[in-house]
Structure 1
């Protein structure tokens, strides 16, 4: 008994029902090649499924990158490791896979003065982790503190913290600027405590730990927060000349160099 033939329109409708848009787009081309080259059914099916899964992975990464709020220009490809010789590119590249430290809920701490490249480096790690299949959120620490404080006032703090659990990594940028009253900074402490050894944090700060009493007004809270963050952590200290200023200086000097070379020719 011959197998029934399906019209193209009916096939398109059936493929749309289980949400297989890539197979729906590619199957006529692949079916034509299959007929001409005599593919086995398993080869045709495998080729279509590979394209469908690849497109799904691509769309998922695009969604995760959008929700991360990361600056699209701050990647590992655009970070100049030559300007921060104290940071090992090999070490950062290993961390960017996320394979070991994210599973442990470990922390990365980036210290350095204003415009030292901390936010760029943190964002670059975040982009690489998204490419590796993880979910990342980048936020100013002060903004997240305000949101969590609002959640607490509306008795929704546990729910707000639970929603943040969907992110494998939260990047808290400029923690040193989160100088609020004790009621507000206590929610930051709760976030740190909630994620301890479960979900990872990456924190950038302009001040070393000795200056964190300005962030957590209560000394005991300061000590507890630092202990929790340092327990499983990787620390980078970027105490160099302004990363942005040096990049700008290099760009400005480049045309002059070209001009001098041109005059010598």
Structure 2
């Protein structure tokens, strides 16, 4: 085929067939610039390829963020590290790089309620998605219910296999999943399946000594903790609750106008 046999007017449809939307959108503009500046053909193609790859990365990140179901707004940029000086930003940023995912390492954040455990884990998860990893966030009780339903319908293996595609599963509020509310043996099956294979991040508001309320028996509790901590980074996050601190700040802010009004009224009475 010679250049004279190629119909340039068919280029948009060919690019659509090749699934190159950025090529399709930008080729005419880039071609005009290339002609004006005298680019060689290789540079013209390289520029278009860079745009196409960058756009694919953006689409992939958007798609994976959507499937991750991470809470909105919980990123490293929005976390108040000054309020939790025992958790250095550098340490969290190192975790966000994701090296610990190799070999199925785990991450466990333990601390009292309202200290930012969920925020930190989700911020790390968000960074990992942007770095190319696949992440899934869920409340532990919700996942237990889903896996219980899968077991009842005899499709538990398929449900667990579907979760294998995620490099990291973030289990929030694990100590709210009580063995008297649901049979949490399925949770142990998930932990055992991912051991040294895929990673789990856990937010817990109770130390390991309080986890006996989660699993059906003590032996399973010990076995679950043993698997989780074997290759784990543990973040101790006991501090004053962010929510309580925010509530106290709001009360002070509301009290100040009232005090100012009372002072003004008193001054008017004295005049």
Give the TM-score, by structure 2 length: 0.89
Q: Against the structure 1 CA distance between its residues 201 and 50, is the aligned structure 2 distance closer, same or farther, given a 3 Å change threshold?
A: same
- What are the residue-to-residue correspondences of 1:71-150 with 2, within 5 Å? 71-98=71-98, 100-150=99-149
**CA positional deviation for 1:251:** 6.6
Q: Distance in 2 between matches of 1:254 and 1:31?
A: 59
**CA positional deviation for 1:252:** 6.9
**CA positional deviation for 1:72:** 2.1
Which residue of the partner structure matches residue 185 of structure 2?
Answer: 186
Structure 2 gaps, min length 5: 261-271
Structure 2 SS opposite 1:211: helix
Count how many residue pairs are aligned between Structure 1 and Structure 2: 257
**CA positional deviation for 1:112:** 1.1
Tell me how large the CA RMSD over aligned residues is.
2.2
Q: Is the 8 A contact 1:20 1:52 kept in 2?
A: yes
- What are the residue-to-residue correspondences of 1:213-252 with 2, within 5 Å? 213-250=212-249
- Per-residue CA deviation, residues 208-261 of structure 1 (Å, 9 max, x unaligned), is 0000110013000000000001100111111111122324545776897xxx9x
Q: Distance in 2 between matches of 1:73 and 1:253?
A: 26
Q: Distance in 1 between matches of 2:94 and 2:204?
A: 22
**CA positional deviation for 1:4:** 2.2
Give the TM-score, by structure 1 length: 0.91
Structure 2 SS opposite 1:67: helix
Q: Against the structure 1 CA distance between its residues 235 and 28, is the aligned structure 2 distance closer, same or farther, given a 3 Å change threshold?
A: same
Q: Distance in 2 between matches of 1:2 and 1:191?
A: 59
Q: Distance in 2 between matches of 1:157 and 1:205?
A: 25
Structure 1 gaps, min length 5: 261-265
